[in-house]
């Protein structure tokens, strides 16, 4: 395998040489056949909205994106696309290539033509479908396939940010908007071809996207928890999905050695402002063997962050958040092919202060809506690396498994049961 050669590439392969990354039968995260479907009500941002995390998160979750004027503008456009996510299917099927691989390549090339950064296909197993929508209505697992898109959040802007300052939610929403636009166009196109298709976006998704990213061979699950890393983008992306019945050829999962790398590297855990990332080992959670984060602490921090709008600091400081320069490709090659180099790569990453805030790339204004008026932000997170920080002696991560979730149609506050979630048998 040579990850340096790119040359002239067919458009369906995209700009990153994903075809050179090792393919495996099973995801490197163990996924059992016992995965319960979860309701949208159990999602922690929705729990914050219903008041499950208390009054302050309930108030702040309504404005943690729109308190920044730029992410508000992005959110307005992204939410205007919700009616475009689904629609009527042409009753007449178009004449299409008979070879499913040719058809799959055509759809991938279309996604790249529309400016997706990485694209993969997989079957959409029943467990990835949410069980109920936010109104408590059951969701049917109605499409067999998923087209999964990754959208880069942009290296330079992230390099200029602390990861949890006033550009953070705009970085997310820029990628969500781009993903939503591409997904809505591709879904509409497929429906015109005579097949069912629905865009599944950050604004309204019927599917949990993380397992689909794994199954479509776009990355491996990382220590950050419910965040997948792509070998070329690291964790610096957002996803969008198109579910469809158009017959497609699935990709296979990938293995680029991340499980071993994350076992040694703890940088995201060290740098998280609210200690929401595990320093420990993987655990079984709802059928996945994973590093489980403290989702409650992360959500509380992101929605109430007083020095910025949301947070993506774990993503910003990760050694895989790279610029795709030649020496970054070399480091990636070593990480993949020489596992014994991991401690050296991790040391070097800290030695070179990768992940520090590079103010030459700060271009945005620190503005915040307060008391109904747009003002200079009162606080700005300018935090920087803290390589001396050690793992805490006792870190306990709550496991909010299905048994402690609110019922799918529960319309009032259902306070989080942190004590229950901390029980060792969970
Ligand atoms: S998003 Fe921020 S608060 Fe959440 S895990 Fe990452 S660094 Fe921690
Ligand atoms: S910072 Fe290190 S431990 Fe965390 S996801 Fe990135 S590589 Fe893995």
Q: Where are the domains of the chain?
A: 20-357
Beta carbons within 10 angstroms of residue 121's beta carbon: 23
Structure tokens that stand for 65 in this block: 């994106």
What's the pLDDT tens digit per position in 103-127?
A: 999 999 999 999 999 999 999 999 9
Closest-CA residue, ligand 2 atom 2, reads 265
Contacts of 328 (CB under 8 A, 6+ apart): 322
**What pLDDT, on the 0 to 100 scale, is given for residue 165?**
98
pLDDT-above-70 percentage for the chain: 97
**What pLDDT, on the 0 to 100 scale, is given for residue 2?**
42
Q: Looking at the predicted structure, is the pLDDT value of residue 254 above 50?
A: yes
Q: Looking at the predicted structure, is the pLDDT value of residue 244 above 80?
A: yes
Bridge partner residues of 243 (DSSP): 146, 198
Closest-CA residue, ligand 1 atom 4, reads 298
Average pLDDT over residues 23-38: 95
Structure tokens that stand for 283 in this block: 């655990």
Closest-CA residue, ligand 1 atom 6, reads 314
Report CA(299)–ligand 1 centroid distance (Å). 8
Sheet holding 118-123, edge to edge: 118-123, 145-152, 237-244, 197-200
Average pLDDT over residues 184-204: 98
**What pLDDT, on the 0 to 100 scale, is given for residue 423?**
64
What's the pLDDT tens digit per position in 292-305?
A: 999 999 999 999 99
**What pLDDT, on the 0 to 100 scale, is given for residue 325?**
79
- Across 176-180, 276-280, 415-419, least confident range: 415-419
Report CA(276)–ligand 1 centroid distance (Å). 6
What's the pLDDT tens digit per position in 319-347?
A: 999 987 788 889 999 999 999 999 999 99
Query: Do residues 241 and 149 lie in contact, with contact meaning Cβ atoms separated by under 8 Å?
Result: yes
Average pLDDT over residues 137-151: 97
Any atom of ligand 2 within 6 Å of the Cβ of 198: no
Q: Looking at the predicted structure, is the pLDDT value of residue 4 above 70?
A: no
**What pLDDT, on the 0 to 100 scale, is given for residue 1?**
37
Return the biggest CA–CA distance within the chain.
64
Strands 145-152 and 118-123 turn out to be antiparallel
Report CA(314)–ligand 1 centroid distance (Å). 6
CA distances from 42 to 65, 200, 225, 409 (A): 20, 18, 17, 10
User: What is the residue-averaged pLDDT of the chain?
Assistant: 95
Average pLDDT over residues 150-171: 97
What's the pLDDT tens digit per position in 349-389?
A: 999 999 999 999 999 999 999 999 999 999 999 999 999 99
Bridge partner residues of 120 (DSSP): 148
Q: Looking at the predicted structure, is the pLDDT value of residue 56 above 80?
A: yes
Query: Do residues 273 and 301 lie in contact, with contact meaning Cβ atoms separated by under 8 Å?
Result: yes
- How would residue 184 be classed by pLDDT, with cut points 50, 70 and 90? very high
Which residues sit with their C-beta closer than 6 Å to ligand 1? Answer: 164, 272-274, 276-277, 293, 298, 301-302, 311-314
**What pLDDT, on the 0 to 100 scale, is given for residue 3?**
46
**What pLDDT, on the 0 to 100 scale, is given for residue 426?**
47
Mutate to test the pocket of ligand 1, among 53, 65, 168, 224 (most ligand atoms within 8 A of CB): 224
Q: Looking at the predicted structure, is the pLDDT value of residue 55 above 80?
A: yes
Q: Looking at the predicted structure, is the pLDDT value of residue 164 above 80?
A: yes
92, with CB counted inside 10 A (0-12, 13-18, 19+), is: exposed
Any atom of ligand 2 within 6 Å of the Cβ of 265: yes
**What pLDDT, on the 0 to 100 scale, is given for residue 419?**
81
**What pLDDT, on the 0 to 100 scale, is given for residue 16?**
95
- How would residue 7 be classed by pLDDT, with cut points 50, 70 and 90? low
Q: Looking at the predicted structure, is the pLDDT value of residue 5 above 60?
A: no
Q: Looking at the predicted structure, is the pLDDT value of residue 6 above 80?
A: no
**What pLDDT, on the 0 to 100 scale, is given for residue 34?**
85
Torsion of CA 120, 232, 81, 190, to 10 degrees: -20
Q: Looking at the predicted structure, is the pLDDT value of residue 231 above 90?
A: yes
């Amino acid at each position: 395998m040579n990850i340096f050669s790119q040359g002239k590439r067919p458009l369906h392969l995209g700009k990153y040489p994903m075809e050179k990354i090792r393919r495996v039968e099973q995801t490197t995260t163990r996924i059992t056949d016992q995965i319960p479907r979860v309701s949208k009500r159990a999602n922690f941002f929705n729990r914050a909205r219903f008041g499950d995390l208390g009054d302050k998160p309930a108030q702040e979750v309504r404005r943690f994106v729109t308190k920044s004027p730029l992410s508000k503008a992005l959110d307005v456009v992204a939410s205007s696309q919700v009616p475009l996510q689904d629609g009527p299917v042409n009753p007449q099927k178009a004449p299409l290539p008979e070879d499913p691989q040719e058809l799959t390549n055509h759809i991938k090339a279309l996604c790249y033509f529309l400016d997706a950064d990485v694209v993969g296909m997989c079957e959409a197993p029943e467990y990835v479908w949410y069980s109920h929508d936010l109104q408590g209505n059951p969701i049917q697992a109605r499409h067999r396939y998923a087209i999964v898109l990754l959208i880069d959040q942009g290296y330079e802007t992230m390099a200029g940010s602390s990861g949890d300052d006033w550009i953070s939610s705009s970085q997310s929403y820029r990628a969500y908007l781009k993903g939503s636009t591409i997904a809505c166009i591709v879904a509409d196109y497929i429906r015109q071809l005579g097949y069912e298709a629905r865009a599944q976006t950050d604004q309204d998704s019927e599917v949990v996207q993380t397992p689909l990213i794994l199954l479509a061979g776009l990355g491996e699950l990382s220590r950050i928890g419910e965040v997948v890393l792509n070998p070329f983008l690291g964790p610096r992306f957002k996803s969008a999905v198109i579910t469809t019945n158009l017959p497609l050829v699935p990709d296979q999962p990938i293995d680029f050695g991340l499980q071993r790398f994350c076992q040694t590297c703890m940088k995201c855990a060290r740098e998280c402002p609210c200690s929401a990332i595990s320093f420990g080992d993987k655990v079984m959670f709802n059928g996945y063997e994973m590093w489980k984060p403290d989702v409650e602490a992360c959500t509380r921090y992101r929605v109430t962050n007083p020095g910025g709008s949301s947070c993506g600091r774990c993503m910003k400081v990760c050694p895989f958040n790279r610029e795709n320069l030649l020496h970054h490709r070399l480091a990636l090659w070593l990480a993949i092919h020489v596992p014994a180099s991991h401690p050296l790569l991790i040391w070097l990453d800290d030695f070179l202060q990768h992940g520090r805030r590079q103010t030459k790339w700060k271009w945005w204004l620190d503005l915040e809506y307060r008391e109904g008026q747009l003002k200079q932000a009162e606080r700005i997170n300018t935090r920087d690396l803290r390589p001396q920080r050690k793992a805490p002696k006792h870190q306990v991560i709550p496991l909010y498994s299905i048994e402690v979730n609110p019922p799918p149609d529960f319309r009032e506050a259902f306070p989080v049961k942190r004590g229950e979630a901390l029980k060792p048998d969970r």
